[in-house]
Amino acid sequence: MNFELTISPMNDIEADVELIIVVNNDLKHRFVHDKKMLKKAGFSAEQDETCLLIENNRLYVGVESISSVNIRTAVATAIKGLSKTSYKNLKIASYMNHPKCTAVLRAMVEGFELGAYNFDNYKSKKSTQAIKKIIISLEEYNNYELDIEICAIAVNNGQITAEATNFTRDIVNTTPDDCYPAVMADIAEKLAENNGLTCNILKPKQLKEEKMETLLAVARASRHRPRVIHLTHKPKKPKAVVTLVGKGLTYDSGGLSLKPSDYMVTMKSDKSGGSAVLGIMKAISEMNLPIEVHGFVGAVENMIGGDAYKPDDVLVAKNGKTIEVRNTDAEGRLVLADVLCYAQQEVKADYIFDFATLTGASVVGVGHYTSSVMGNNDLPKDAVIAAAKSAGEFATKLDFNRYLKKSLKSEIADICNISNTRYGGAITAGQFLEEFINKEHKDKWAHIDIAGPAFVEHAWGENPHGASGAGVRMMLRLLEKLAKEK
């Protein structure tokens, strides 16, 4: 999708269709040209409600108020509504809640790109997005005077962010037979080549040399050999160093603790954390942020077979801690344990963030649309939550506590891979990961469980059925803020 920013007023711009946002039911605003027809059509301008007046080539959409969240979902809804029309280009005015804050303009661009997304790789009849070009006029709803150069940056960053999110969605939505560890590694290498990143791929021999035995145990029964991916964006004189770690389970059968069949469906989404890391690395390289960022992905498939790791096994992690396996379906934390250890060995970071579809307990606790954020220190946790709010994602804190941590005690090893209680499973999973964070990094680390929003089997907001690209937008906002702080 192409975006054009212009100082021309709306009436001077030629386009196939005009998109008009109606704010707070205000049908008397100068942008609203068809008051009588809208009233006749029963259009009440509620949030995300649309009305297409074909005879006038105008599409109206309602928002409760001018905010990034409202504009993003409204525009996404509108572009979906035009997907089957013959319109090729669209014009829209600018809508701001402050003359010098371009966040809403960026959200508008994100809404267009995210709403237009469609995954039809496996359909015999491909869909096409009719709208190819969007012209954004700097004629503004509140008559604010806008700086075209500042607005151009917002448009560019919005497009980069949304394209990286859609890139992530594509990886997550790809079936396990088409996206296994070696394929994820190929995607990373191609991304590095195209975007000027450094890429290092560890294969089984190197993983063995690095003593990543818990990761190798999870991968043992699969015909697809595991990979650990390390992508690096390293600008000159970086303002901070950040490590991102993603769970890349390209498929999770549950192993010998086999999932029920209906729970196996959608397990291609268990690579959402690793896919998000790839998407974030794509975006930061294109924005060329002055932050050194390292992205690590543990790409593994958890299958069953005669060589599968078993409940009752005791595994030795890279940092030497022994783990009693009581459930082979708690495999993501075993993969992350080794990758977190490896990432800390390779990089001394100011912050460490891991992303994982780690627990169903997170979905039970906070719902499908919200990520759970955990860690030892409020600073990185609060930074994630603030960034999520800015990006239009939902995130909330789940606090660690010493009583739940006791439930991970093992009588035969240093720690058990599941707790001895059915309650607080998202928190105990986070506390398990904490065992593999070095002392010097304890307060620099946050764990982000994206099990809820990463893959939902219905459309919501600007997100389609399936993968949402959860984590990409929030982390980009956090990294952008770090780039401005120092």
Tell me the catalytic residues: 259, 333
What is the three-state SS of 76-112? Answer: HHHHHHCCCCCCCEEEEEECCCCCCCCHHHHHHHHHH
**Sequence-distant (≥ 6) Cβ neighbours of residue 479 within 8 angstroms:** 242, 280, 284, 289, 291, 293
- What interhelical angle do 472-485 and 272-287 show, nearest 10? 40
Q: How many CB atoms lie within 10 A of CB 170?
A: 18
Do 140 and 192 touch, CB atoms closer than 8 A?
no
* Residue 51: both structure tokens together: 């009305």
| Burial per residue of 29-51, b for 16 or more beta-carbon CB atoms within 10 angstroms, e otherwise | eebbebeeebeeeebebeebbbb
How many Å apart are CA 108 and CA 101, to the nearest integer? 13
Pick the closest to residue 413 from 322, 292, 339, 297 (CA basis).
Answer: 322
Q: How far is Cα 467 from Cα 475, in angstroms, rounded to an integer?
A: 17
Rounded-to-integer distance, Cα 20 and Cα 37, Å = 14
First vs last C-alpha separation in the chain: 34
Q: Is 384 helix (H, G, I), strand (E, B) or coil?
A: helix
